[in-house]
Amino acid sequence: MEDKPARNFKYVGRSIPIEDGAAKASGRIRYTGDMAIDGMLHAHLVFSQVPHGRIKNIDISEAMAVPGVVKIYMRDNAPQIRFNSQVWFAGQNAVEDQELFPEVVRFIGDTVAAVVAETKAAALTAASLIKTDYELLPMVIDPEDALSGQVAVHDSGNPFFTMETSYGDTAAAMAAPEGIVVEDRVETPKIHHAAMENHVCIAAPDHRGRITVHSPCQIVYSVRLIVAKVLGLPYHKIRVIKTPIGGSFGGKQEITLEPYCAFFAKDLNRPVKIEFDRLASIIATRTRTKTIGYVKTVVSPEGKIMARDMKHIIDTGAYTSNGRVICYAMGKKLSRLYRIPSQHYQAIAVHTNTAIAGAARGYGSPQVQTIAEINLDNVARRLQMDPVEFRLKNLVHPFDADPGGGPNLGNARIIDCVHKGAEAFGWREKWNRTKPEGRWQTGVGMACATHGNGYYGAYQEFGTMTIRMLEDGSIMLNAGLHDLGNGTVTAMKQIVAEVLEVALDMIEAPEADTDISPYDIGCQASRVIHVCGANAMQAAEELRSLLIRESAKIFQCSEEEVLLENGMVYTSREPEKKIGYGQMAAAIQQKNQVELICTITYRSPANPGSYAVNFVEVAVDTYTGFVKVVDVVAVHDIGQAINTGFVEGQIHGGVQMGLGLAISEDIAYDARTGVAGGASFSKYHLVNAPDMPPVRVLLIEEGEEHGPYGAKSVGELATIPVTAATVNAINHALAANFTILPVTPDKIMAMLTARQASNRTLLR
């Protein structure tokens, strides 16, 4: 991607390196796993080895004999406070059905006990000696089986939440005589986030009875809220410090280790560390929901969508977590991509005896939009219409209203994305080329996607930032920032630098710390650039105005005559007499008795859509079923890139994650045993660097009214369209209709074998 400032910006639009990149590359940065506190103990959690059972007895006698063991925790000597791990603000309505140590375990990975010892080795050894007896209970793995209620994961029942929304008259449109109805059942798997850093946490008590939690999390105020609840402490007794994070992709948005760590530290009055290995991170943290979608679309013979009916069965695993919230989140995307006059949406969230599902990059969008886009390709096939032309007939236009009742779509440029991407990809030529004969079959596919920019229209959406100019002219931006390795801090600095005409190395922007950071709801909902960035911009503009106002008093001139440029202040009357920011800040303190400091609470006024289209080319080996992704063109409508390098990195990473959902990734629970088949990286198949195709990134930067310098989100959007585009390309290559993901070689070979057998039968 070309690195050049857009619209004559000095800092915005440039590929400025991430500020901690060199420290990460050289190993100088200290992740939580690298941290140690004097007197620190190590804890190891003991997991259930059965998918569903009532604990009858836990024998810890051998474990307690291990040298270095300090204490072993179980249900009887721990809080039995129920909580919900996804709650992010006080007063949120959520089902609280988790406990630190439940009486009934509901999946392999539920917590039975915990050993705290002087060393990590002692804790691990002791944990391996704990013996648990269970009264085995019936289990259910498949979410559709769970609907029957024959096996109850909770006493309240498995289908624990159902919602429906609709607009228009879907039933009448479905019955229209001219309508062409296309139905599909599409299934997306449970996946692991696969961040390089496993889950880890440190908690430390102090002499005042406060607990400090060090966590590579996405929402420090959520951690504080839930830890305080479980420990029965007021908020001011809990301090949460966001530590450098080695990847999340949503996996560290919800609270997992923090309540355990904080409780052990409080109880023992010593620092405690918990660090998961890969097995624990896969089976005992969070997954993406497995989702089964039934979709029925009716179109006119000319290719106009008349109505759509969608029903989703959403597998949230053993506990509720975000099960209710994600039902709403999935539904609200479905009216913001195509002009659909009538639509009905139903979501049913169910419990199964599998790992808890939670936040994952896209928060339901990759599932529901993959389901929808595979169906739309089948609609185009039924109409014998080019999938690009079919979508262009139906995509939303800029500033369309959301018929589903959400905020206005804003400057939605998805049509521009499709035109630009189709040309760059060479869609027309590739779609119409003659199919090759022989072992390798090629195909192309495309899919569109949308995502939001924060919570406006659903939940409260605001944040607070304090910005100061120090006496040497440097800038402190105090905010509840959470950098997930995606460059949040650097991007905020670019926005502030653009406003204040100051070099980036003169700006400091610490990450979130509940003791000192103003309140912010964290890194979620694709809100950071659009909402936090606008907050930073508004704060910087307020500081700029204050600097100009106070400098005018020093210069004894009007505010209109004061100019700022490259860290210097001067007047239009005497432009040759420039004063550095630091000298002016000191003078303002001395003569005006004013500190250059501003605090701004920003409330987002909008939630526009970000848009994308991916074009994918594949080659399928009909001898092995292996899928090689040959080419990807990714076009994104993001308003304005704050940092073009970060945007491109987000899109490359999103493509990698979406490809895994399409062709290889699946935790894959055994229906007979409840064991996760993909519980290690040797069995959980990621798309690795050698398998990545070239990804050509194109941006549509037409601005967005309320975004900082016109910017809107890209991080979650980047992973959504490539899954369906890849499946559509495989279906095009093989003239198939794969709808159960991932489309693995065994599924391809089973289809080809069945087709060959059918052809032989027909020839007889």
Q: What is the pLDDT of residues 208-235, one digit of tens each?
A: 999 999 999 999 999 999 999 999 999 9
Question: Do residue 491 and residue 597 come from a single domain?
Answer: yes
Residue 157 pLDDT grade (very low, low, confident, very high; cuts 50, 70, 90): confident
Report the CATH number at residue 699: 3.30.365.10
Question: Do residue 620 and residue 524 come from a single domain?
Answer: no
Residue 759 confidence (pLDDT): 86
Choose the final residue of a domain: 561, 583, 603.
603
- Residue labelled with tokens 């694709």: 526
Q: Is residue 346 part of a domain?
A: no
Instruction: Pick the range with the lowest mean pLDDT from 1-15, 60-74, 105-119, 745-759.
Output: 1-15
Which amino acid appears at position 201 of this protein? Answer: C
Three-state DSSP at 741 gives: coil
**Above 50 in pLDDT, residue 312?**
yes
Question: Do residue 83 and residue 124 come from a single domain?
Answer: yes
Number of domains in the chain: 3
d(CA 324, CA 316): 9
Three-state DSSP at 107 gives: coil
Average confidence (pLDDT) over 548-570: 98
Q: What is the CB neighbour count within 10 angstroms for residue 657?
A: 26
d(CA 695, CA 61): 57
Question: Do residue 522 and residue 382 come from a single domain?
Answer: no
Question: Do residue 252 and residue 131 come from a single domain?
Answer: yes
Question: Do residue 619 and residue 597 come from a single domain?
Answer: no
Residue 1 pLDDT grade (very low, low, confident, very high; cuts 50, 70, 90): very low
Q: What is the pLDDT of residues 572-596, one digit of tens each?
A: 999 999 999 999 999 999 999 999 9
**Above 90 in pLDDT, residue 485?**
yes
Let me know: does 147 contact 313? Beta carbons within 8 Å.
yes
Residue 80 confidence (pLDDT): 98
Question: Do residue 260 and residue 240 come from a single domain?
Answer: yes
Question: Do residue 694 and residue 641 come from a single domain?
Answer: yes
Question: Do residue 222 and residue 91 come from a single domain?
Answer: yes
Q: Is residue 289 part of a domain?
A: no
Q: What is the pLDDT of residues 449-483, one digit of tens each?
A: 999 999 999 999 999 999 999 999 999 999 999 99
Which structural domain range is residue 469 located in?
457-603
Average confidence (pLDDT) over 408-424: 98
Choose the final residue of a domain: 569, 603, 637.
603
Question: Do residue 580 and residue 642 come from a single domain?
Answer: no
* CA distances, 131 to each of 208, 210, 359 (Å): 38, 34, 33
Q: Where are the alpha helices (DSSP H) in 360-439?
A: 365-383, 387-392, 414-425, 427-432
Residue 5 confidence (pLDDT): 44
Which residues are CB-contacts of 315 (< 8 A; sequence separation ≥ 6)? 143, 146, 190, 289, 290, 291, 292, 350, 352, 354, 357
Q: What is the pLDDT of residues 698-746, one digit of tens each?
A: 999 999 999 999 999 999 999 999 999 999 999 999 999 999 999 999 9
Q: Is residue 160 part of a domain?
A: no
Q: Is residue 152 part of a domain?
A: no
Residue 64 pLDDT grade (very low, low, confident, very high; cuts 50, 70, 90): very high
Residue 325 confidence (pLDDT): 97
**Above 70 in pLDDT, residue 61?**
yes
Report the CATH number at residue 200: 3.90.1170.50
**Above 60 in pLDDT, residue 761?**
yes
Three-state DSSP at 619 gives: strand
Q: What is the pLDDT of residues 168-218, one digit of tens each?
A: 999 999 999 999 999 999 999 999 999 999 999 999 999 999 999 999 999
Query: What would the two tokens of residue 666 be?
Result: 């699946």
Average confidence (pLDDT) over 103-108: 98
Question: Do residue 594 and residue 466 come from a single domain?
Answer: yes
Choose the final residue of a domain: 224, 248, 283.
283
Question: Do residue 442 and residue 579 come from a single domain?
Answer: no
- Residue labelled with tokens 């209620």: 149
Which residues are CB-contacts of 370 (< 8 A; sequence separation ≥ 6)? 186, 188, 447, 661, 720, 723, 724, 727, 741
**Above 80 in pLDDT, residue 58?**
yes
Q: What is the pLDDT of residues 650-677, one digit of tens each?
A: 999 999 999 999 999 999 999 999 999 9
Average confidence (pLDDT) over 332-349: 98
Q: Is residue 174 part of a domain?
A: no
Residue 2 confidence (pLDDT): 44
Give all strands (DSSP E) within 552-666, no chain letters.
562-565, 568-571, 579-580, 597-603, 610-621, 627-637
**Above 80 in pLDDT, residue 598?**
yes
d(CA 6, CA 548): 26
**Above 50 in pLDDT, residue 364?**
yes
Residue 155 confidence (pLDDT): 92
Residue 4 confidence (pLDDT): 45
**Above 90 in pLDDT, residue 73?**
yes
Q: Is residue 167 part of a domain?
A: no
Determine what percent of the chain is predicted with pLDDT higher than 70.
99
| CA-closest candidate to residue 327, choices 304, 308, 306, 350 | 350
Q: Which residues are catalytic?
A: 716
Average confidence (pLDDT) over 271-276: 98
**Above 60 in pLDDT, residue 411?**
yes
Q: Is residue 328 part of a domain?
A: no
Residue 3 pLDDT grade (very low, low, confident, very high; cuts 50, 70, 90): very low
Query: What would the two tokens of residue 268 be?
Result: 């023992």
Residue 129 confidence (pLDDT): 98
Q: Is residue 764 part of a domain?
A: no
d(CA 387, CA 393): 10
Under DSSP, the state recorded for 600 is: E
